[in-house]
Structure 1
């Protein structure tokens, strides 16, 4: 298998290929940089899903510090919106934690953890996957049924088209439907805001959006931490991809190559789980 096939692949080969790639961290398994000359003032566009906005901003800012001739335009939106924008602009790339489309070339940059969050004043600290599923099905109406104090449960989910919602439903719900009584959060930031101000609320969000206004729950006895995402023990995790219609060339290729190097992976590790072990 060639270098490019291991770290950048058409998804038609299956997610298993990418999962293998996550464990191949030697220099020979990284996307090779382009060898052409670099034009001054080159503009690159990235469509970035909302859970990936912190990563998109950190990666592009760090890359510009070492390559000041490159100018990035990052355009945020949910998965469906970003996918539609990419379809109308097929020379650009998108950054996402959800990618079911087998027509796209894609390379992994790390892993994202999906944290289940409750109001900071709610004494519940842990749920099983079964209990979480029952809550989101609407079959558990009060926190007292799960060992908490009496308080009505307010289920909050993301809007249709959200990649985080798609990953949550894949990992937690399977073929089961989320209760139609659930409130809808239009973005990751809005999800945190709703849960923070609503007693009894429960939601889910990329770990990169966690702050002190909400509490992240232990799931099946595993803490929601970047370490546990990286070692594949935390159950709610997804692969972070950069994807496009074509294998990247020159400027995009150099950026993706850099994001898979130690320097780029240290940027990923600020809020996400990197591809490689950064411990000495």
Structure 2
């Protein structure tokens, strides 16, 4: 049996459940349930499959938070006996919560490092792709920055005034996310080349807080998931590129991540149903509308299929 691993990480591999495998599992589950019903209907006429009811706790990545919230509402509408509690806190919080069994699903922008999260039952369900965007205070209208310019703003400190970039004579104020942020880890790895950040450090990992802080701070610059972009801030391209299906697939735009939903298995019927629901057409369409990239739309060289 083949498993799929995503190699867009720092060398770590973790088995995940792809959308194709989820569909296969769903088909197998249906067959098993049908077979069970046929075998037991005569002796146990009242038997039925496990109902889709109860509460699921979903927490972690603030980049995935808006979509997870919308998906939770749609799922509750389809299954009135369910309650999907969704919260943020950052990717590190999500991974800690699911491995400590304080949540059924831990959302993360990054892969769970097996050295930190060694539980063999920890299973990765990739549900979409998030493009991230550089944002500035609306008083700064620089259209694009090179990757090196971003490094010199956030890391080396060589660029500290917007006048150096054709903007106003105004101090640059980088807004830095806390260390438990998966978005920060992605930014540090793929934009800063592993360098540390310097700037105004936020104490909580909240994409809304980043956006609002940038919006109200003259000269500020930060980064958020595309789903958080509003007219309150100005977006800045990276090397004259925006995060689209085409630029991500071609490798021209590197500031993006897969969105992971981690579980300790998915034997619970409600949990299994919700994970499948995340990959369904309703949620994937909603993802596209909100600025995410549907998982089946993306083709990158970072995905490989191997046999264990």
User: TM bucket by the smaller chain?
Assistant: 0.7 to 0.9
| Structure 1 position 120 matched with structure 2 position 138 | yes
| Structure 1 position 242 matched with structure 2 position 235 | no
Any residues of structure 2 matched to 1:1-280 within 5 Å, and which? Answer: 1-2=1-2, 5-6=3-4, 30=23, 32-33=25-26, 34-35=29-30, 37-39=49-51, 41-89=53-101, 92-102=104-114, 103=118, 104-137=122-155, 138-179=157-198, 181-184=199-202, 186=204, 187-225=206-244, 228-229=247-248, 233-271=252-290, 272-277=292-297
Aligned-residue offset at 1:6: 4.1
Say whether the 8 Å CA contact 2:141–2:234 is kept in structure 1.
no
Alpha-carbon distance between aligned partners in 2 of 1:90 and 1:31, rounded to the nearest angstrom: 29
Say whether the 8 Å CA contact 2:72–2:85 is kept in structure 1.
no
Decide which structure has the larger Cα Rg and report it: 2
Q: Cα deviations across residues 135-190 of structure 1 (Å, max 9, x unaligned)?
A: 101221111112222211101110121111111111112232212x4342631111
Change in Cα spacing, 1:227 to 1:214, as seen in structure 2 (3 Å) is farther
Alpha-carbon distance between aligned partners in 2 of 1:16 and 1:76, rounded to the nearest angstrom: 23
Say whether the 8 Å CA contact 1:47–1:85 is kept in structure 2.
yes
Alpha-carbon distance between aligned partners in 2 of 1:267 and 1:87, rounded to the nearest angstrom: 29
Alpha-carbon distance between aligned partners in 1 of 2:246 and 2:136, rounded to the nearest angstrom: 21
Aligned-residue offset at 1:13: 9.6
TM-score (norm 2): 0.77
Change in Cα spacing, 1:245 to 1:16, as seen in structure 2 (3 Å) is closer
SS at match of 1:99: coil
Say whether the 8 Å CA contact 2:58–2:87 is kept in structure 1.
yes
Q: What runs of 5+ residues in structure 1 fail to find an aligned partner?
A: none
Q: Cα deviations across residues 195-247 of structure 1 (Å, max 9, x unaligned)?
A: 11111111011111110010111111112456645665422000011112224
